Amino acid sequence: MPDISLTVLIVLCLAAGAAGWIDAVVGGGGLLMLPALLLGLPHVPAAHVLGTNKAVAIVGTSGAAVTYARRAPVRVRTAVRIGLAALAGSMTGAFFAAGISSAVLRPVILVVLLGVAGFVMFRPAFGTGAGGEPVTRARTVTAIVLVGGGIGLYDGLFGPGTGTFLVLALTAVLHLDLVTASATAKIVNVCTNAGALAMFAYQGNVMWQLAGIMAVFNLAGGMLGARMALRKGSEFVRGVLLVVVFSLVAKLGFDQWNA
């Protein structure tokens, strides 16, 4: 573990807890935890920061996934299939990432996010239904190819907001309510995080001691977020979703402005 002050360690642990909560409810926890690691560890190589981030995130995501699976009607088999497709997509995206400029992708994602925000705002019933509709073979295949493969590819190429996109896409394609979509997204995220973590670990780019400490807080935040989402329902998740989407827009807009 790098030589860091107690103050920085406390801030990183608090960021990990908050990120776990956000990620469990609607995805996007990396928007908080990754910048916190970059700011708190300015002299640590970026690969080590990314690897440590994944090691922390997979713990909270797994805790949230277990909490959801016990209390929500999650179709685990479908979620795992989508997760495996997302894993393959993210590996493909990472392979081609070096040849694609983020300056080209940023404006496209900004437009998509603004469209998503408008859709959610002006369609109050989106994702608030009871869910539980039969999943046809065609919808399952669409989810595996488009949601798993497509968003997994985006995750490998670019990354920010992958969990949020998963929730929105699963709601739209499988007609899930937002709570069930969040639960399903967590299982998919476990699959993609596991693949990325395995690669980072193989390359020696994980600070395991720091990750272990932060993971405790991330796990607590993730389980708390999942319980709150289950208790408060889809309207609560919808509100958090809008906040995260607008935060993504602000971050990407800021990055584009600096670029």
Q: How far apart are CA 195 and CA 84, in angstroms?
A: 10
pLDDT of residue 240: 82
In this structure, is residue 67 part of a structural domain?
Answer: yes
In this structure, is residue 90 part of a structural domain?
Answer: yes
Q: How far apart are CA 230 and CA 245, in angstroms?
A: 21
Number of Cβ within a 10 Å radius of residue 204: 9
Q: How far apart are CA 153 and CA 148, in angstroms?
A: 8
Alpha helices in 97-161 (DSSP H): 102-122, 137-142, 151-157
In this structure, is residue 114 part of a structural domain?
Answer: yes
pLDDT of residue 13: 96
257: enclosing H helix or E strand: helix 234-258
Residues of the chain with pLDDT under 50: none
**The domain containing residue 244 runs over which residues?**
6-258
Strand, helix or coil for residue 123: coil
Cα-Cα end-to-end distance for the chain: 32
In this structure, is residue 1 part of a structural domain?
Answer: no
Backbone angles phi, psi at 88, to 5 degrees: -65, -40
Q: How far apart are CA 22 and CA 12, in angstroms?
A: 15
Nearest alpha carbon to residue 189 among 27, 21, 16: 27
pLDDT tens by residue, 198-247: 878 888 889 999 999 999 999 999 999 999 988 888 778 778 877 877 88
What pTM was computed for the model? 0.77
User: How many structural domains are present in the chain?
Assistant: 1
In this structure, is residue 209 part of a structural domain?
Answer: yes
Number of H helices, E strands in the chain: 11, 0
Q: How far apart are CA 149 and CA 146, in angstroms?
A: 6
In this structure, is residue 99 part of a structural domain?
Answer: yes
pLDDT of residue 101: 57
In this structure, is residue 232 part of a structural domain?
Answer: yes
In this structure, is residue 156 part of a structural domain?
Answer: yes
